[in-house]
Amino acid sequence: MSIAIKVPTVGESITEVTIGQWFKNEGDYVEMDEVICELESDKATFELTAEAAGVLHIKAEEGETLDIGAVICEIDTEASGNQGEGAEPKASNSSETTKVQTESKATGEIKEMVVPTVGESITEVTLATWLKEDGDYVELDEIIAEVDSDKATFELPAEAAGILRHVANEGDTLEIGGLICKIEVTEGKPPSTSQKDAEKPAVSGSGTTQADGKETYATGHASPAAAKILAEKGMDPKDIRGTGKDGRVTKEDAEKAQKIQKESKPTSPEKPEESAPSSKTQGDRVSRREKMTSLRKTISKRLVAAKNETAMLTTFNEVNMKPIMDLRKQYKDMFKEKYEVNLGFMSFFTKATCMALREWPAVNAQIDGNEIVYNDFCDISIAVSAPKGLVVPVIRNAEKLSFSEIEKEVVRLAIKARDGKLTIDEMTGGTFTITNGGIFGSMMSTPIINAPQSAILGMHNIVERPMAVNGEVKILPMMYLALSYDHRIIDGRESVSFLVRVKQLLEDPARLLIGV
């Protein structure tokens, strides 16, 4: 029995379509829902899928224009293999098709993949990058995409082996449980890449040619996404070397061409310089727009919320860093040799902060509804500037760690932050935050509270300044400290006393060792 496949209705105002490209040849065996050709209207490009499994008989050729409802092909559902009844066996790709069928066979099962739960507080993610193209064969547990949340980037593994079908596009924001892709489950693997490459025609000129050397309809033709990119850049698709099927210009080709266009922008030396000064502005005046990442949007929301929802106030003090600098200079080599990590300032500040938090517990507390939660432990959040934005990993139970353990934990978390490999657990649950703007040259700032915490300590750069010491003027390395706090839970007495205690411990680091 033969089933007639007709041109579907693709829009109220569309009355005809043009066959852009056949993905299957006359006499090929096709599976149900397999894409067999591409249709183009005056508004968009559509894919036509097989309505049943069987042998394909083409009724219209590439480039033909058909009315809506016209027969475009037929599928013989009773035939098998890659040829119809009474048809002569095809010499070309007959054995190849049989081999494909023996290597890879569709089971008919469709595996729907949804956005997994990646953390208690995360309700949505953004699809950052597809690592596998639509239609690619993927193995079970193979990484197929990367998704961004407001806290980290996660890899998405395939939940079955088969043919990947994209549902969401790069940049789409999806809720947890939202459909991200489908996998057409298959038994066995498709032909190897080398076999596929051997079947591909050679690339020549601006596009791909068939084996007989003639260009196909698709040669130099841009996909809708590629055409949009090229149109924005004023580039002709015929000038782009297409890497798609039969030389079609893909989105990736257009993006690469866009990059090349930017990098190799020619100058115009033929226009002579004018003797009189020009009234026009000299130099390039280029602007560009980039979509905010999910992480950056979340940072923005939380910082604004912290400013609006807390009674934030900042108090300042200054610290003489000479005792710590002298101590580091004396023992840094021995410390590095024994613990295989540098002795930095962060371990001193973390230890001093933990001691001061024990004495002033309100600074280590937080508001939960109508209650105040006091913490008997110190989970210190360390602000780290990562490539995708500010992240705040947490040093757990910092009050129990030694100097070397703190330094090793700081290095470990900083490396993971810059590589984008921090986990949700490593970035949640902090009770107090330390941020060091001094590494960028900041002299003084008012850091914003990392909600739901109630306070944050800001370190700044060390500057030699003249200071009065016992009636004498001395040049000392000084650092400004800033404590931003929520005045709803922390009073002025507690905030100032906390900062004074931190100053006292840093200016006399021996106190950190004996706990006084």
Q: For the segment 201-234, what is each residue's pLDDT rounded down to a tens digit?
A: 444 444 444 444 445 545 666 665 667 677 777 7
Active-site residue flag, 487: yes
Residue 374 within a domain: yes
Q: How confident is the model at residue 379 (pLDDT cuts 50, 70, 90)?
A: very high
Beta-sheet strands, E only, within 307-459: 312-320, 366-368, 371-373, 380-382, 384-386, 389-391, 394-395, 432-436, 455-459
My answer on whether 116 and 98 are in the same domain is: no
Mean pLDDT for the stretch of residues 57-70: 86
The arithmetic mean of pLDDT across residues 135-142, rounded, is 88
Among residues 87, 103, 119, which one ends one of the domains?
103
Domain that holds residue 230: 201-211+222-256
Rounded percentage of the chain residues whose pLDDT exceeds 90: 32
DSSP 3-state of 149 = coil
Q: What is the mean pLDDT of residues 435-439?
A: 87
What dihedral angle (degrees, nearest 10) is formed by the CA atoms of 61, 67, 72, 77?
180
**CATH code, domain carrying 462:** 3.30.559.10
pTM of the predicted protein model: 0.51
Is the pLDDT higher at 288 or at 495?
Answer: 495
Each residue's pLDDT tens digit, 308-353:
888 899 999 999 999 999 999 999 899 999 999 999 899 999 999 9
List CB contacts of 21: < 8 A, sequence separation 6 or more.
37, 38, 62, 216, 217, 218, 221, 245, 246, 248
User: Residue 145 falls within a domain, yes or no?
Assistant: yes
Tell me what pLDDT residue 279 has.
55
Please state, in angstroms and rounded to a whole number, the distance separating the CA atoms of residues 409 and 396. 9
**Does the annotation count 460 as an active-site position?**
no
Of 333, 425, 491, 508, which one is the catalytic site residue?
491
330 and 463 share a domain? Answer: yes
CATH number at 118 reads 2.40.50.100
494 CB-side CA count, 13 A: 20
Does one domain contain both 93 and 121? Answer: no
Query: Residue type at 480?
Result: Y
Give me the pLDDT at residue 101, please: 45
Is the pLDDT confidence value at 83 over 50? no
| Cβ(115)–Cβ(180) below 8 Å | yes
Domain co-membership, 73 together with 170 = no
Which CATH number goes with the domain that contains 231?
A: 4.10.320.10
Tell me, yes or no, whether 35 and 111 share the same domain: no
Residues 117 and 43 in one domain: no
The reply to whether 133 and 42 lie within a common domain is: no
User: Which one from 326, 419, 487, 508 is the annotated catalytic residue?
Assistant: 487
389 and 508 belong to one structural domain: yes
Q: In the prediction, which pLDDT does 360 show?
A: 94
Judge whether residue 85 has pLDDT over 80.
no
Beta carbons of 506 and 324 less than 8 angstroms apart: yes
Cβ burial of 483 (10 Å; 0-12, 13-18, 19+) is buried
Residues 374 and 446 in one domain: yes
Q: Same structural domain for residues 121 and 97? A: no
In this structure, is residue 292 part of a structural domain? no
Of the residues 103, 133, 164, the one at which a domain ends: 103
Residue 108 has pLDDT above 90, yes or no: no
Q: What is the pLDDT of residue 366?
A: 92
Say whether both 359 and 309 belong to one domain.
yes
- Number of domains observed in the structure of the chain: 4
- How do residues 272-309 score in pLDDT, each as one tens digit? 444 555 555 677 788 888 877 766 777 788 888 888 88
Is residue 217 assigned to a domain? no
For residues 481 and 343, membership in a common domain is answered with: yes
Q: Residue 311 and residue 499: Cα distance in Å, rounded?
A: 18
